[in-house]
Amino acid sequence: MQKRIIRSLIILLALVCTAFGSRLLANTSLRPLRKSELLALVAAGVLPENTAYEIRSKGLSFVPDESYRHC
């Protein structure tokens, strides 16, 4: 009987974590990337494909000029 209760609690906890986790992911901000955020991605060595995905999915909050493109 005690094993059944513990198993039920573990399943309930897993369901709650899944529900809250998916809600947190759904609430992620899709605001455009700032200059500093894009520069941080590049400086951290994030793969160019991942950086390009971030730009495509969120966009940029600025217009990159020539001086920024050569940083």
Q: What is the pTM of this model?
A: 0.55
For a pLDDT cut of 90, what percent of the chain falls above it?
Answer: 45
Q: What is the pLDDT of residue 26?
A: 53
pLDDT 10s digits, 25-51:
554 668 999 999 999 999 999 999 999
Say if residue 22's pLDDT is above 60.
no
55 pLDDT above the threshold of 90: yes
DSSP 24-51: HHHT---PPBPHHHHHHHHHTT--HHHH
